Amino acid sequence: MRWTRTTAAAGAILLAAVGVVSCSQFPASQACFPPPFSLSQDTASAGGSISISAEDATCDPRYGDGAQIQVEVMDASGATIVTELAPMNDAGGFSITLDLPATAVPGRGMVTAYPHNLDWCDDTGRNNRVGRAAGTGIERVSCVMPSAPLTITSKL
């Protein structure tokens, strides 16, 4: 076969058409970050309690049945003083109340909450859970830990 400009152009059109068909068969996941969480108050006393919750995401993160949220509280020393797992719905909504230990170091601490054992940290928002073959695990990428400040005061 002799290559001409017409043959090359026809080949380029054919490749472009195949590319369009391939892309439409496997649409890319839309960006969908875990919903932001909030604290019932930004100050709590050592020995007191605090509630942490999130509304459902406005996108479709598809966490699935049995999904859990991992919540951690650090005191002013940087030590993790509470680690809890709580139920989370398919859209990322959750609510949990935690008791702070009386031994918590007063000062500025931090609360983190993220989907347990799932890819919660893809900065691109790509849903790494959707479209993966069963048993292949979760691809972990660049992370920013979702957190909120909590001021811990001395036990009353």
Question: What tokens does 50 get?
Answer: 């605090």
- Three-state DSSP class for 68? strand
Assess whether pLDDT exceeds 90 at residue 133: no
Q: Can you tell me whether residue 4 is helix, strand or coil?
A: coil
Sign of CA dihedral 30, 149, 39, 66: positive
What's the mean pLDDT in 62-88?
94
Q: Residue 74: its pLDDT value, please?
A: 97
Highest mean pLDDT among 1-10, 46-55, 128-137: 46-55
**What is the tens place of the pLDDT at every residue in 18-68?**
333 332 333 344 567 778 999 999 999 999 999 999 999 998 888 888 999
CA distance 54 to 95: 7
Task: Tell whether the model's pLDDT for residue 81 goes beyond 80.
Answer: yes
In the predicted model, is pLDDT for residue 121 greater than 90? no
DSSP string, 91-156: TS-EEEEEEPPTTPPPEEEEEEEEETTS----TT---TTTTPPTTS----------EEEEEEEPP-
Tokens of 135: 């048993």
More confident residue, 123 or 53: 53
| Collapsed DSSP state (helix, strand, coil) of residue 16 | helix
- Alpha-carbon distance 93 to 28, whole Å? 24
Q: pLDDT value at position 65?
A: 87
pLDDT tens-digit map of 89-110:
999 999 999 999 999 999 999 9
